[in-house]
Structure 1
């Protein structure tokens, strides 16, 4: 899957993470979405490292979506844990 796909996944993951993990975030919505994009890349890296994802999976692959969203949640949780006041 391509670079642009992971950005789209990350955008959606950031929105979902914000909806599921409400509260005051350092940086607001923009930072949350950027963290979601970073999380999608982290999720993609983890999925590829585990051998679950590969370059031939399509944009609509369920596994890609799951890893992108989980990566977004993980990175947002870490961000809130270490940078929230």
Structure 2
């Protein structure tokens, strides 16, 4: 996948995941893009693990199902981030 496709998929998946996930998630456009790219890698790896049973790092493709997988992966990444980086007041 080309760099432009990574950027577009990252922006779309990150923005959709931030809109769906409850609560406020700060961050810039670059943070949203990074979240979407991490989501695409996380989601693609999980789908590959469920389909084939082997663990290989793969990314979601630039398609409608790939966008769906990337959004799910980005939502998992948001959840894990807030669980691991919980602020104590």
Q: 1:74 aligns with which of 66, 72, 76?
A: 76
What is the count of residue pairs matched by the alignment?
A: 78
State the Cα deviation string for residues 22-63 of structure 1 (Å, max 9, x = none): 3154xx2333431221111111111222238xxxx9633x33
Q: Which runs of 5 or more residues in structure 1 are unaligned?
A: none
For the 8 Å contact 2:40–2:69, the answer to whether it is kept is yes
Kept in 2: contact 1:13–1:73 (CA 8 A): no
After superposition, residues 1-85 of structure 1 pair within 5 angstroms as 2=1, 4=3, 5-21=5-21, 22-25=23-26, 28-29=27-28, 30-51=30-51, 59-60=62-63, 62-85=64-87
Moved over 6 A (4+): none
Higher relative contact order (CA 8 A, sep 6+): 1
Structure 2 CA distance for partners of 1:69 and 1:58, relative to 1, 3 Å: closer
Distance 1:66 1:6 in 2: 15
Q: How high is the TM-score relative to the length of structure 1? A: 0.65
Contact kept? 2:61, 2:67, Cα under 8 Å: no
Decide which structure has the larger Cα Rg and report it.
2
